[in-house]
């Protein structure tokens, strides 16, 4: 079969389409999370997704629909722990994350293990993406675009300094809730693309890559989205061409792009330091 013929298959088209939208979602949300030092929330919520999937498999329900409310509630739980229990973000994420994993393992053990099914959620199965998941990712992407467009200045203010944002009358609690709920939904969707184990890479690496080139907040979000989409498209294509696991390939392409941007940024900094310093 000719390599280009691959792209005429419905499952490949679905994979590329859903993958691109999910990558854009993860990258845009990741920019806010990385800058607010909440990078690992994706990892934590992915672990909770594992618990949610296990519950779904136990009751023979579609795991996606079972995982969504559980992960959304956990995301809000993380916020409550930070706000009410005055825990550091990473500690709150750690608690909820380990609870999710523990719950998943316990359920899998009680049910006698789900073997293949659970394995496909842990490491992703991009070929199994359904039309429903494609449309959900498109819909979620639209929601995110609307939220970012309407709340751009608030998001920037909160990301820069949450306390000052409060003194501007911004309802930081509301914006935070929207942000973590969108992250929760995105993480559950993304488990099909890269798997539960690697989902945080889609949130973190494109944002960190974009930060190497950043010349403004808006452009950072855009570069992050482009990097995420590029890595998913390239990752899927390479994985088909070389018969490699798609999730892992996507993450490695992401890392290669980060390495490239990091090297370019260091070279640029080195050249800049040779010029006289700008003082004011």
Residues contributing to the site for another protein (CB under 8 A): 35, 37, 149-151, 153-154, 156-157, 160-161, 163-170, 210-211, 214-217, 219-220, 278-280
Q: Which is nearer to another protein, 241 or 272 (CB)?
A: 272
Asked whether 14 and 193 are in contact (CB, 8 A), the reply is no
**DSSP-assigned letters across all residues of 84-104:** TS---HHHHHHHHHHHHHHHH
243-258 burial by CB neighbour count: b if 16+ within 10 A, else e? Answer: eebbbbbbbbbbeebb
Whichever of 112 and 216 has its CB closer to another protein, that residue is: 216
User: Among residues 97 and 209, whose Cβ is nearest to another protein?
Assistant: 209
Residue 89 or residue 100: which is nearer to another protein going by CB?
89
- The conformation of residue 125, written as its DSSP 8-state character, comes to -
Within its chain, how far is the Cα of 94 from the centroid? 17
CB of 213 to another protein, least distance (A): 9
C-alpha to C-alpha distance for 219 and 221, rounded to whole angstroms: 5
Closer CB to another protein, residue 40 or residue 210? 210
Q: How far is the CB of 35 from another protein (least distance, A)?
A: 6
Task: Report in angstroms how near the CB of residue 76 gets to another protein at its nearest.
Answer: 22
Shortest distance, position 167 Cβ to another protein, whole Å: 5
Strand, helix or coil at 224?
helix
Element (H, E) at 136: helix 131-160
Query: Closest approach of Cβ 79 to another protein, in Å?
Result: 17
């Amino acid at each position: 079969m000719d390599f280009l013929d691959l792209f005429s298959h419905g499952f490949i088209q679905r994979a590329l389409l859903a993958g691109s939208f999910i990558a854009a979602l993860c990258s845009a949300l990741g920019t806010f999370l990385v800058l607010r030092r909440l990078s690992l929330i994706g990892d934590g919520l992915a672990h909770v997704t594992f618990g949610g999937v296990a519950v779904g498999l136990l009751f023979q329900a579609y795991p996606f629909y079972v995982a969504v409310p559980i992960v959304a509630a956990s995301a809000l739980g993380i916020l409550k722990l930070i706000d009410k229990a005055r825990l550091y973000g990473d500690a709150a994420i750690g608690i909820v994350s380990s609870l999710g994993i523990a719950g998943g393992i316990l359920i899998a053990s009680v049910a006698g293990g789900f073997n293949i099914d659970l394995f496909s959620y842990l490491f992703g199965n991009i070929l199994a993406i359904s039309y429903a998941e494609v449309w959900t990712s498109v819909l979620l992407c639209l929601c995110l675009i609307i939220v970012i467009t309407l709340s751009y200045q608030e998001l920037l203010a909160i990301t820069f300094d949450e306390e000052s944002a409060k003194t501007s009358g911004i309802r930081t609690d509301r914006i935070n809730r929207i942000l973590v709920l969108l992250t929760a939904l995105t993480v559950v969707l993304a488990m099909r693309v890269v798997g539960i184990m690697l989902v945080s890479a889609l949130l973190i690496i494109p944002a960190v890559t974009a930060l190497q080139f950043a010349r403004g907040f808006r452009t950072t979000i855009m570069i992050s989205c482009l990097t995420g989409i590029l890595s998913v498209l390239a990752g899927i294509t390479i994985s088909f061409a070389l018969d490699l696991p798609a999730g892992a390939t996507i993450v490695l392409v992401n890392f290669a792009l980060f390495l490239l941007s990091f090297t370019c940024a260091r070279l640029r900094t080195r050249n800049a330091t040779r010029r006289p310093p700008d003082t004011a």
